[in-house]
């Protein structure tokens, strides 16, 4: 059997920036890689919307398509320009997937992103 807390520790130590939000993208959890990539400490992120990472230059249509996809319970993947706490822009390869609970309700999203600035 898997040790208790293994899932937590595995996500916590993942080199991919991982967050869990409510259904409106309010941040409920971030892992360490999310903190180091964005430059924000956990306490500064919890309760805030993921939009705090937006560089405010991404066309609205991109977000509209993102939300249409994830509210239809599909996975969305794309590349956004994000801004760190210190103001540096980076290219984020982001995947957002809905988390359906045992009652069949969509209450959470799982977001995973990495910096692909150097790759492109």
Residues engaged in binding ligand FAD (CB under 6 A):
19, 21, 24-25, 49-51, 53-54, 58, 60, 63-64, 67, 80, 82, 92, 94, 96, 109, 111, 113
Any bridge partners for residue 89, and if so which? 83
Least separation in angstroms between residue 4's CB and ligand FAD is 26
Q: Is 55 exposed, middle or buried (0-12, 13-18, 19+ CB in 10 A)?
A: middle
Give whichever of 12 and 97 is closer to ligand FAD, judged by the CB atom: 97
CA distances from 105 to 12, 85, 96, 98, 100 (A): 25, 33, 17, 10, 5
Give the nearer residue to ligand FAD in terms of CB position, either 9 or 89. 89
Q: Nearest distance from residue 76's CB to ligand FAD, in Å? A: 9
Q: Give the HSE-up count for residue 9: Cα atoms under 13 Å, Cβ half-sphere.
A: 5
**Could you tell me the smallest distance in angstroms from the CB atom of residue 88 to ligand FAD?**
14
φ, ψ at 74 (rounded to 5°):
-105, 160
Q: Which residue minimizes CB distance to ligand FAD?
A: 111
């Amino acid at each position: 059997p898997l040790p208790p807390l293994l899932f937590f520790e595995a996500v916590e130590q993942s080199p991919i920036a991982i967050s869990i939000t409510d259904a409106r993208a309010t941040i409920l959890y971030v892992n360490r890689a999310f903190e180091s990539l964005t430059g924000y400490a956990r306490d500064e992120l919890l309760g805030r919307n993921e939009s705090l990472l937006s560089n405010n230059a991404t066309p609205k249509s991109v977000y509209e398509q993102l939300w249409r996809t994830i509210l239809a319970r599909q996975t969305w993947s794309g590349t956004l320009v994000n801004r760190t706490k210190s103001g540096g822009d980076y290219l984020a390869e982001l995947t957002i997937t809905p988390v359906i609970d045992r009652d069949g309700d969509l209450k959470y999203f799982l977001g995973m992103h990495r910096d692909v600035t150097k790759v492109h």
